[in-house]
A and B are shown apart, each in its own frame.
Chain A
Amino acid sequence: MGAETQESASAAGGRTVRARAADLTDQPLTALAVAVFWAWLVVRWTNDFLLDGSLAPRGTSFFPTAPIEFAASTLSGVAADLGVFGLPFRWLAGLVGFVAASVPYLPELATGVWVTVLLTVSGIAFGFVIAVPLSIARVYGGTITRSVALAYTELFRGTPLLAQLFVLYFATPLSIYIRELPAVGTGFVPAQAFWVAVVAFTLNSAAYQSEYIRSALNSVPEGQLTAARSIGLSKVEGIRHVVLPQGLRYAIPGWSNELVYLIKYSSLASFITVRELFEQADAIASETYRYTELFVLAGLLYLALVVSASLLMDAVERYVAIPGLGTSGR
């Protein structure tokens, strides 16, 4: 009973949250900003990781700060001349000054964004692989498989992700095992803490995703499986070819919600030393004492990632839409 109401609630929550983001993503300006954001990221990553800094040395911004600083000081000069009426100019000067102070940190934060994206994508993808059998066990399994799957989801959804990270990182030998694997921590391959975080996000996300998929599977009418069986498909084939293709479409809103959730919660990996976006910002801030610029910048970059994810999932939803099936019809 409890799980039922909770799951319907989270599904409803997912829709409303995303509907809001969709309002934002409807605006062409947002689409343009997201396009610029990703163009910058891709050029930055290509330059840093593949071209060995041939466009601009690693850690050096593409954008010169001097002209921006000059603009800022000019604006504040204008503001001073205008006296009381210069207030808008003073704000503008502050804004441009913020940009000037932020630009030098962008390259290092871009590296953090790369790790954040990797964490999120792996967590979602590997989590999905576990979530599908988990949700099928919940809907179609026998008493034992059903309760094992239920226990799994309740435990992972009932405890904080941060506590799960701590258990895996501090209290199990997982990171020692991973450290001894070949290539871990050399070249492209991140160090063990990253992999521990991937394991934690995978296990956690599997629990949430399985709830979304389970409620989606339940919303596929029973007659669909009956009809599949009546033409000679086995139960597994019927689930595979008839129930899942429909259920997974119903699950898209929940799934988008989970993607946004994971982007934001991937910041918790900083607690186990993973150099993702937040950790990167925090590390630079404690060196430079530029807390305002770095944390506001980090927040903006997360926001850009979240808006991108909503935009992407809207496109996915449109792409796989089938008349009479899915969110628009319900």
Chain B
Amino acid sequence: MHAFPLQSDWAFVLGSLDLLFEGLVVTVALTAASIALGFLLGFPAGAVEVYGRGPLASIVETAGVVLRGTPLLVIIIILFFVVSVSSSAFVTAAVALGLRSGAYQSQIFRGALQSVDEGQLEAARSVGMGRLQAIRHVVVPQALRRSVPGFQNEFTIVLKDTSIAIVIGLGELLTVGQNLYQGGQSTAALEIFLTVSLIYFVLTFTTNRTLDYVDDHFTIPGGEQA
């Protein structure tokens, strides 16, 4: 650890903004990667839960229950120490967050798919579409719009939970804060952690407002909300 010159605690935080910014970049990248992986897993999983039959459906369901019933901390640790997915902390954290987010996103999509009226499918079939076609062109577009609010919620949850990657030493925002406190200026604990919290708050706040806008933008006039 290199010694910092003694300075006021707020000046210390201000002087460390570049480090915090690096942490912020890791946090944002991890969130994006996890949400994307979660979507790739969660959307098909949700569809399987609604339309699937047999062993595939029960495997998806059981995996979901296990992933939703286990703390993220345990999932990360198991992937890191037991399964050893990757030597990269970033990849490990993204896989853990992505798996767990997929388990939750599957429920969002499942709910949204189920909320589309039964008659929509019948109407599509009655104009001669096949079952898959009807799901693809009529049910899914409506369901995706309805899943925006749930998706918004999931987005902020993942964003906040990237902080748990501190356990495997990934240099995200909270880890940077922790390092500044332990290896830098320990009197500045309050200033450091409040600043870190504020950055998270700004992130979740802007994410929410942005997704509000997306929601308004994609809402079908007069279409019922999920």
Contacts and interface: CB of A to CB of B under 8 A. Distances in A.
Nearest to A263: B71
Which of the four size classes fits the interface of chain B? 35 or more
B215 A5 contact: yes
B16 interface: no
B81 interface: yes
Interface in A161-185: 161-164, 166-167, 170-172
Contacts of A128: none
B166 interface: yes
A17 B68 contact: yes
Interface residues of A, number: 51
Contact of B178 (A16, A166, A306): A166
Interface string A277-316: 0100010010000011001101100110011000000000
Contacts of B64: 20
B135 interface: no
Nearest to A116: B71
A318 B208 CA distance: 35
A159 B78 contact: no
A267 interface: yes
A163 B174 contact: yes
Contact of A9 (B69, B149, B161, B178): B149
Interface string B210-226: 00100100000000011
Contact of A302 (B69, B82, B104): B69
The prevalent SS among residues of B at the interface is helix
A260 B110 CA distance: 20
Given A16-B110, A16-B111, A159-B204, A171 B66 contact: no
B73 A278 contact: yes
A139 interface: no
Contacts of B156: 6, 157-158
B87 to A, nearest CB: 16
Interface in A143-162: 154-155, 157-162
A303 B70 CA distance: 6
Contacts of A172: 190
B71 A265 contact: yes
Contacts, number: 157
Interface in A26-60: none
A292 B74 CA distance: 11
A166 B82 contact: no
Interface of B: 61, 64-66, 68-75, 77-78, 81-82, 104, 107-108, 110-111, 148-154, 156, 160-161, 163-164, 166-167, 174, 177-178, 181, 189-190, 192-194, 196-197, 200-201, 204-205, 208-209, 212, 215, 225-226
A160 B200 contact: yes
B71 to A, nearest CB: 4
B192 A171 contact: yes
A24 B65 CA distance: 8
Contacts of A282: 77
B81 A295 contact: yes
Contacts of A167: 190, 193-194, 197
Nearest to A300: B70
A1 interface: yes
A160 B161 contact: yes
B80 to A, nearest CB: 9
B27 to A, nearest CB: 10
A267 B74 contact: yes
